Structure 1
């Protein structure tokens, strides 16, 4: 039986609530950096938190209204600090001399979108099934939108979905405007302002200046760099690793390599890489890779400001022949990932930038997807469960349809903290079935 549809109750647009002095310092246009422009064909970032409805709320709709109003008010105050999220993308172009530039327009926009929705499901209906229910994708706005659509769609959309006994706050943000670090910077600040009833933020303020000059792109129409990707039918499942399990994997990887330089995330990623490669039954000499998203902020010299608000990430990868990867141990695979991260220096970042400026491109899943690779995204270091919005700690983190494909793994902190992790794994059904019976993998995760 199909789950009930999400019912949309209301929507509005939220603008930054700021003083006249703040309006005077607001930049009408923010130019994009190469890291931002490269994201124009990717999906929005879609992450959300599931809360158990407080006992003070009953089943009647009007008891949720105070929460909705406070969410809107605190969002408006937060947008005063993060005002590009209330803007739109815009393009400046001309044929002679050739000129094509995409930027954030902070003036010509109704603001960020805010949606109130409801569904006749319980928290248990979301968390109990083995696979993440498809209905969760309906908890996010801008489904299947790519970032270039931010010319007409809001750059930020909040959807508050009311369950029978829970509340889900889904946040969709244009990936041209933020990466994961900036996404959670905003989300954390919003929660802080909600909880303190204070318009100021205690965290580092967002640094909104990005690029010192206009990027004149060698295009005449967006069809030359925009592409859309439709994922095949996938199974999506959450696997939990306790702090003890993560520590054991890290100890094993470092012990096999007689070092102490392999991180917890590199050890877990190596496990994922080996086990998913095993499920795919690749030929011995087939090249396979594990790709990891790496934050550039502290890797370049001088480093970017702590609150740099935008994209500053690249993909690094460990490479191996499938047969060799499976013959060797966990430490061998983890060391390849450790080397890939260690080699991503200021020099490597600047070389990528120079190459991109010579030949600009956008990441397109349909073109760049590698069926023999694994992609590990997000980070268990991001502060996610600290966002409470007056309802206590969330019971789970879930994501939407965006940026998912066969072999995509998203890492989250575990609910209990302490170094535990949750892995959101997306695989073809036959690969997921084999992963569920893979002894190396299942020995590490908690069911």
Structure 2
């Protein structure tokens, strides 16, 4: 089992379909966010059985990737996950600030990969196979790596009889609840493609912390 290796087939970067004036402004990390810089990314995997009635497997995969890419572009309109971290140094007064920059970023990463194992190989063993770590793009990355790595990366791995979607999100941009809110919004848009309204039922809340001086925001991706 451990001798199996993941084959990367393709990758692309996805940007928001459009960027609002508010999102074009730097999103400064708060002191609480900065504590998270040395912690690992949030990683969650989602395992699905392939439909049995598939006439053309390649067409099925291509359609899945196209729909996921379009959905991701739409949901990123609401979240700051298409950016990169940047550090700004000031001499007077001497300080460092870290912020999320959407404009100077290639976007979130979407990867297509394949692995010659079955769903049973993953779920029926006593231990999770080591190869599962390779189903996540940013495995072992820490949040500070968001200066050079995507804040959000989604790897779609084609298994023998299933699909594994591994999502990695920078922990500075939210906790586990925030992650699930993002994923729910992505699923909502994915399932509602073709409808004229691409809004989401639970948009993230961006709270302003400090009324004076530099605008500092807490990226709170949850609902009241």
TM-score, normalization by structure 1: 0.46
Gaps of 5+ in 2: none
Q: Of 116, 125, 141, which aligns to 1:120? A: 116
Hey, what's the Cα distance between the residues in 1 that align with 2:215 and 2:17? 31
Alignment of 1:248-287 (within 5 A): none
Residue 10, structure 1, aligned to residue 6, structure 2: no
Hey, what's the Cα distance between the residues in 2 that align with 1:94 and 1:190? 38
Residue 181, structure 1, aligned to residue 180, structure 2: no
SS of equivalent residue, structure 1 residue 38:
helix
Query: Does structure 2 conserve the Cα–Cα contact (< 8 Å) formed by 1:33 and 1:215?
Result: no
Hey, what's the Cα distance between the residues in 2 that align with 1:86 and 1:186? 13
2:36 equivalent in structure 1: 39
Q: Deviation string for 1:18-38 (max 9, x for gaps)?
A: 2xxx62342420111222111
Residue 74, structure 1, aligned to residue 71, structure 2: yes
Which structure: greater strand fraction? 2
Q: Of 204, 207, 227, which aligns to 2:205? A: 207
1:149 equivalent in structure 2: 145
Q: Of 53, 60, 67, which aligns to 1:63? A: 60
TM-score, normalization by structure 2: 0.89
Greater Rg, structure 1 or structure 2?
Answer: 1
Residue 308, structure 1, aligned to residue 206, structure 2: no
Q: Deviation string for 1:72-106 (max 9, x for gaps)?
A: 00110000111x10001000113443111111112
- Structure number with the bigger relative contact order (C-alpha 8 A, sep ≥ 6) is 2
Q: Of 7, 23, 26, which aligns to 2:23? A: 26
Hey, what's the Cα distance between the residues in 2 that align with 1:167 and 1:25? 36
Hey, what's the Cα distance between the residues in 2 that align with 1:10 and 1:32? 32
Query: Does structure 2 conserve the Cα–Cα contact (< 8 Å) formed by 1:14 and 1:112?
Result: yes
Alignment of 1:306-345 (within 5 A): 308-309=220-221
Aligned length: 216
Query: Does structure 1 conserve the Cα–Cα contact (< 8 Å) formed by 2:16 and 2:77?
Result: yes
Gaps of 5+ in 1: 217-306, 311-447
2:50 equivalent in structure 1: 53
Q: 1:55 to 1:116 in 2, by over 3 A?
A: same
Q: Of 88, 93, 96, which aligns to 1:100? A: 96
Cα RMSD over matched residues? 2.2
